[in-house]
Structure 1
């Protein structure tokens, strides 16, 4: 007799948009790993639907809109009776974790961290402080090379870090996209490694020939404008990096693509300076394949960068910062160049743009890096195996995580009462 398919409920912070953000792409890769197992997946979210949402029903994934602070979720989750519940980012665990534990206590609770938001926010604040001290700064080496202990010191007293780390403890398994962030969590926040699983971006490495150096032209930058690190990178390019490139290559053109382009971004469009704000790319891989260099001058951020993965998929060498490359290369050669200052980034970009031999080597370095570190057929099965193993020993696994049990007891009680108060208040409005 066949066993019933494993039921998975995903509670999304947003509906996935794989062509708008790396987080959306990563969610789709996780869902594909579950589909490959024949699992029965329901994706739910309290968010409004964005214009670039993935067609989940076409993949055989059920969809259900849910409400915050509403007992309608209790009825929904009871009827669904999932075996695994995946919270997309810690805010969803805070909102719905107590309800899942109350009505589906034996469901495996999984947290998709996407990236550590508390790390990203701490780095953003550090950049603001740095610029406040030196508004004309060119070299950001002090920001790009702190020891993990220094990162911990900046994060440890923040409410955001306390909320995020607590959610990791409350879940049975947390998916972490960057091995650098796993080191930060285990070595400095002292999170047990048994609660974490390295789950990077997952894809099928390219095997076909790439478009050649001669068939490509121009520089390209891409990323969701709603994501603060991307917007900061655009401003840094506009004000510092791009003028230095144009001094050395007067005819150079930069095309900037991004989802949800705000008026403040389109206002930067200046064809006479070769600075083109292009709005959303219908096919990001197509525009990347036509470009010679991908620019990603990120001054803060966390996780790993989908734009650089896409560039490697297209055979497009990149020029970025240590923040951009963090957690991505491992011990492998970087498929491009990494620099710390606007002047060094500009010099590297011009050199790579003109040097066909170095450019071709970077292109092949990207192909090898994807194959050795990001293959879907390795990480997808490893993820499924880890979840199934945890499910098989769930009682023991939870017993060894007393800190998580204690945090669930205290937070879920307070969260439950607050949610019930809000729901009652809404009924009386």
Structure 2
């Protein structure tokens, strides 16, 4: 008799929109990995539906809307009885972790982090402080080169870090997209390495030749406008970087794409300056394939960057900062340039745009980097192997993680009582 299919419940912070954000793209890659394994997948979320959401039912995934602070979830998860529960972002674990543990105590609890949010927020604060101290919008070398111990100092006193690190401890396994963040958590926050698994963006080659140099034109920048690092990058492009590029290439054009374009972004459009706000791209890979250079001037952020993976897939060289390239290339040469000032960024972008030999070398470096670090055929099976190992040794892993058990004991009680109070209050309205 064959064994019943493993049942997986994924609780999403939002319904996946893989054409709007790299975070949603990563969730979709994980879902597809589960489906390839023959697992039965259910996706639930308390969020409203976005206009670009993926059709999960077409993939064979059951979709279930759920509510925050509502015991209807208890009935739902008890009936589903999943073997594995994956929380998409730590706030979802905060909301639903105690309910999962109460009704499905033997289910493996996995957290998908997308990026370390407390690191991203600490870096954002550092940028704000830097801009208050200096009106020089060109050189950010000091901003881009902190040691991990300095990052820890920025994060350690914040409520966000305490909440996020506690959620990591409370789970049996945490999927980390960046090896730099694993290093930070292990070396500075002293998390046990066995709680963490490197699961980067997982892709395969497109299967079609990349467009050659002479068939491409224009610079491109792309990213969800709701993501603060992307909006800051657009502003830095507009005010500082792009004018330096236009000094050398007076007829150059920059096409800026992004989901959920706000009026403040549309207001930046200026055709006479070659600065074009293009709104949402129906096919991000198509517009990336048509561009000659991808620009990603990120001054803060965390995780790894989907736009730069897309650039490599499309054979499009990129220019970025140490924040943009962090955790993405180790000993590999970057497929373009990594710079620390607006002037160096602009100079590198212009050189790549004009020099076909340099451009072709960067394109080749991108293909090598993708093959060596981001293949789905490598990371997908590795993820399944890690999950199966954790399920097989779950009792011992939980004994070893006494800190997590202690945090669950205290945090879940307070969360449970707060949730029950909110539910009772809502009933009495």
Q: TM-score, normalised by structure 1?
A: 0.99
2:56 maps to 56
1:261 maps to 261
1:232-271 paired onto structure 2 within 5 Å: 232-271=232-271
Corresponding position: 1:422 with 2:428: no
Deviation at 1:352, TM superposition (A): 0.6
Contact 2:251 2:274 in 1 (8 A): yes
Contact 1:206 1:367 in 2 (8 A): no
Give the Cα separation in 2 of the matches to 1:363 and 1:407.
Answer: 47
2:34 maps to 34
In angstroms, what is the RMSD of aligned CA positions?
0.6
1:202 maps to 202
Contact 2:285 2:310 in 1 (8 A): yes
Give the Cα separation in 1 of the matches to 2:209 and 2:256.
Answer: 25
SS in 1 for 2:200: coil
Aligned residues: 429
Corresponding position: 1:178 with 2:155: no
Deviation at 1:330, TM superposition (A): 1.7
SS in 2 for 1:48: coil
In the TM superposition, what whole-angstrom CA distance separates every residue of 1:50-71 from its partner, at most 9, and x where no partner exists?
A: 0000010000000000000000
Q: TM-score, normalised by structure 2?
A: 0.99
1:2 maps to 2
Deviation at 1:207, TM superposition (A): 4.8
Give the Cα separation in 2 of the matches to 1:80 and 1:6.
Answer: 11
Deviation at 1:233, TM superposition (A): 0.2
Give the Cα separation in 2 of the matches to 1:265 and 1:226.
Answer: 11
In the TM superposition, what whole-angstrom CA distance separates every residue of 1:5-48 from its partner, at most 9, and x where no partner exists?
A: 00000000000000000000000000011000000000000000
1:412 maps to 412
In the TM superposition, what whole-angstrom CA distance separates every residue of 1:164-214 from its partner, at most 9, and x where no partner exists?
A: 000000000000000000000000000000100000000113453211000
- Structure 2 gaps of 5+ residues are none
Give the Cα separation in 1 of the matches to 2:395 and 2:225.
Answer: 43
- Structure 1 gaps of 5+ residues are none
2:394 maps to 394
SS in 1 for 2:68: coil
Give the Cα separation in 1 of the matches to 2:266 and 2:306.
Answer: 23
1:150 maps to 150
Deviation at 1:137, TM superposition (A): 3.1
In the TM superposition, what whole-angstrom CA distance separates every residue of 1:104-163 from its partner, at most 9, and x where no partner exists?
A: 000000000110000000000000000000023310010101000100010000000000
Corresponding position: 1:378 with 2:381: no
Deviation at 1:251, TM superposition (A): 0.2
Give the Cα separation in 1 of the matches to 2:179 and 2:116.
Answer: 12
Give the Cα separation in 2 of the matches to 1:163 and 1:48.
Answer: 24
Contact 2:137 2:342 in 1 (8 A): no
